Structure 1
Amino acid sequence: MTKILLATRNAAKLVELRRLLEGQGIEVLGLADVAEFPEAPETGATFAENALAKARDAAAATGLPAVADDSGLAVDALGGMPGVLSARWCGRHGFDEENLQLVLGQLQDVPDERRGAKFVCAAALVVPGGKEVVVHGEWPGRLARAPRGTNGFGYDPIFVPEGEERTSAEMSPQEKDAASHRGRAMRALLPHLTALAGG
């Protein structure tokens, strides 16, 4: 069984990648499964820079092939923001509800037809002493006026994917995996991951 490290403490992301890699002969470990190492702050100007930095740190510290992703919400009416600042848009990291309410407040006077947005994800794979790969996934949609649904996290309760009436927080985990930005990025990474397992 090939081991790879997903450089995250986010249990939801770990579950998501394990679901995607089911039956591929790959065991996905999280940061809680390895010895602690210093993690550099996310200071990149792009999702790709942040993902690559996280994967490089994890691979160097553990000697395992490491996958990291950085993702966020890009809102048309906010000029592509919060973007790489999505997780700390309210000024503090990890306050999902405050971040979501701040975005809703900033869009209060924006008409429905101008509430376009997309989730963006960059995923990086770094193999110690070997290759580095960065792939991207995007999930276009628009923002609802109020949160709906309890699945997912972050901005999911206000994001309505293209062609949908439901928010991504009202979709099942399987539906979300099939369509989401992270799902798309991780699927683009799959051939590189299965190659590690000799698949």
Structure 2
Amino acid sequence: MESLAISKAFTLIEPGPVVLVTTSDGHRDNVMTISWTMVLDFSASFALTTGPWNYSYAALEKTKECVIGVPAVDMLDTVIGVGTCSGRDVDKFEKFGLTRVKARHVHPPLIKDCIANIECRVVDIIERHNIVVLEGVAAYLNASRREKRRIHAIGDGTFVVDGRKFDRKEMMRSKLPEGI
């Protein structure tokens, strides 16, 4: 085993996938890239890490709603572009050619270009750790998308992509919720 700087330890367990989160402050839609996400259990409960340094954060705090869009690997350059500029300075939907779709339960739009979208409401913000806890209220799959591989950030400017799937549902049946 080689020693690794503790400052790089997060690159060993960086979660995924990278997502695009849309917000709306009532006047303007925005989208941000988030690589720190997690599922909280077998329900539609999620958490992401962001804070006041992101332009969208004020809208999350104010409106308590957002949409999580799950991009495919063919959107990698768009995902990076969205994450490296500020909605304070540019309309990211226009700049990156993202297609808005009206959501049914929240004001921020879905992103048609994504594999999937989840409309969410903010249920808690844990300021000490910059964690936003979300409850999904509706989810959509884009069946027309041919590319379905998701992007996972390593955290050092490199990414990996979902690969081959291994089906072990029968072995895991006793641990999975009914209907999965």
- Give the structure-1-normalised TM-score: 0.26
Which structure features the higher share of strand residues? 2
Which structure features the higher share of helix residues? 1
Q: Comparing both chains, which one has the higher relative contact order based on Cα–Cα distances under 8 Å and sequence gaps of 6 or more? A: 2
